[in-house]
Amino acid sequence: MSNPPITKVTVRASADADVPAMLAIYHFHVSHGLGELGDYEAEPLEADDMRRRRKNMRKHRLPHLVAEVEGIVAGYAYAVPFRKRPAYRYALKHSIYIHHLFTGCGVGRTLLPALMDACAGAGYRQMIGYIDPGNDASLKLHEGLGFARVGLLPSVAYKFGKWVDSVMVQRALGPGATTPPGSWVEAVVGSDGGK
């Protein structure tokens, strides 16, 4: 870890009041091209979009969490359906963004397991992420939490003037594929994506 670990990280469900802080984190990473973000946004994410998406996720039992350090929003994470088709309703894809002043301090190492637990608790069985091959922090974070590299999608992104691959990572949640799923079905289908 590049920075001293922060010992007290609190994870909770995000609230409307967190939207400005989450947007600031998001826009910082957009402008620096980290993670799955690039330098191009057809429609820049606005506070109202984030509020609407957050509410929609909650309605569909999809966790949307923030990590707080001494009352400051130090990161956020959420999951959306992996695919909208009904057969995929137990699989999620997730995103996590840590405030640039708090990266490398262990915040992701606290926030991502909390997101995994929340998703498992809601009955989801698989979690999928897409990571830029140059994003060592994200690869290390995910692999340390049991995500396996399951694929490499060549040249699927165009960021800052070049084609970029995506590493696909996956981890089972709860009993994974060892038991049939629970009885809830339609809850997540139709949810829109998030940012």
Ligand X SMILES: CC(C)(COP(=O)(O)OP(=O)(O)OC[C@H]1O[C@@H](n2cnc3c(N)ncnc32)[C@H](O)[C@@H]1OP(=O)(O)O)[C@@H](O)C(=O)NCCC(=O)NCCS
Question: Is residue 44 a contact point for ligand X (CB under 6 A)?
Answer: no
Q: CB of 67: closest distance to ligand X in angstroms?
A: 8
The CB-of-93 to ligand X minimum distance in angstroms stands at: 10
Cα–Cα distance list, 23 to 17, 29, 143, 165, 173 (Å): 11, 10, 27, 26, 28
- Name the minimum Å distance from CB 37 to ligand X: 7
SS3 state at 183: coil
First to last CA, the chain: 26
- In whole angstroms, give the CA distance from residue 93 to residue 81: 6
Which residue do the tokens 């922090």 mark?
A: 137
Measured distance CA(145)–CA(161) in Å, rounded: 32
Show the binding pattern over residues 79-118: x = contacts ligand X (CB under 6 A), - = does not. -----------------xxx----xxxxxxx---------
Among 22, 79, 131, 188, binds ligand X (CB under 6 A): 131
- Regarding 63 and contact with ligand X (CB under 6 A), the answer is no
Residues that bind ligand X in the complex, under the rule CB under 6 A: 1-2, 29, 34-36, 96-98, 103-109, 129, 131, 135-138, 140-141, 144
